[in-house]
């Protein structure tokens, strides 16, 4: 099944069954879901989470409880600037320097409390937390369709800050775990762990992009993203 058809089905299901949570509607976004805090608590039990000191996280609502937990536990959190539109395209949240970690973890608060940094100012990332619209038990992930999550991983891969050994996780509702055959490309970042409020799925996913696949980027997109311009020089 085409990815967009799966997205639409999952969004419709979350809405129709009363699973979706603010912001509404769930369509067109990484959907927030009932049980997101419970999934974050389960995620925090993972050895890879406990051992991580630097986490790259998506800024979406369902992963807010996990971002808050990371900051409370003293982990440094990095969130990408929307669409990587700035040269300093990540926001660093260093918990020791934050007056309010709960506010800092929100998409609205990250710029008020965090510090903009370029990728080459970042340390090696121990764990990547991704938002998902749908996932499979094999670790295939469907995002909202813009490709920025995979591109952020590729940018960090260019600098050796993530690689095959970097743990990639997501938190989702059980209804976002699908049985469909999902066609993925070499640029797609598979998931090592899928966490729902009810269970933790460890996948056998293999293969990671080790850098930017320039064949997927047209001239217009490169011009819109300063960090890509720098790498292409």
In the chain, where the domains are located: 3-227
CATH number of the structural domain 3-227? 3.40.50.10420
Give average pLDDT by consecutive 10-residue segment, the chain, 233 residues: 93 98 97 98 98 98 98 98 92 97 97 96 98 96 90 94 95 97 85 98 85 86 88 73
Number of H helices, E strands in the chain: 9, 10
The phi, psi pair for 75, rounded to 5°, reads -85, 140
pLDDT of residue 232: 74
Q: Which is nearest to 183 in space by CA: 138, 232, 132?
A: 138
Q: CA 202 to CA 145: how far, in whole Å?
A: 24
**Residue 167 β-bridge partners:** 127
Coil vs helix vs strand at 221: helix
pLDDT of residue 187: 81
Coil vs helix vs strand at 141: strand
Coil vs helix vs strand at 5: helix
pLDDT of residue 1: 63
Instruction: Return the percent helix, strand and coil in the chain, to nearest 5.
Output: 35, 15, 45
């Amino acid at each position: 099944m085409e990815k967009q058809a799966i997205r639409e089905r999952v969004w419709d299901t979350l809405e129709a069954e009363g699973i979706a949570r603010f912001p509404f509607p769930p369509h067109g976004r990484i959907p927030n879901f009932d049980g997101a805090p419970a999934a974050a608590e389960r995620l925090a039990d993972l050895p890879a989470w406990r051992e991580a000191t630097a986490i790259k996280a998506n800024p979406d609502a369902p992963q807010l409880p996990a971002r808050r937990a990371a900051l409370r536990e003293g982990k440094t959190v990095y969130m990408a600037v929307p669409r990587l539109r700035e040269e300093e395209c990540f926001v660093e949240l260093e918990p020791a320097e934050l007056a309010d970690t709960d506010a800092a973890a929100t998409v609205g608060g990250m710029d008020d409390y965090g510090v903009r940094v370029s990728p080459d100012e970042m340390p090696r990332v121990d764990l990547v937390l991704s938002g998902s619209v749908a996932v499979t038990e094999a670790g295939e992930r469907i995002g909202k369709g813009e490709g920025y999550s995979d591109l952020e991983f590729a940018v960090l891969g260019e600098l050796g800050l993530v690689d095959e050994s970097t743990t990639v996780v997501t938190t989702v509702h059980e209804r976002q775990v699908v049985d469909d055959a999902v066609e993925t490309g070499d640029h797609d970042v598979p998931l090592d762990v899928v966490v729902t409020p009810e269970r933790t799925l460890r996948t056998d996913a293999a293969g990671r992009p080790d850098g930017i696949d320039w064949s997927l980027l047209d001239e217009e997109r490169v011009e819109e993203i300063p960090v890509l311009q720098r790498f292409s020089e």
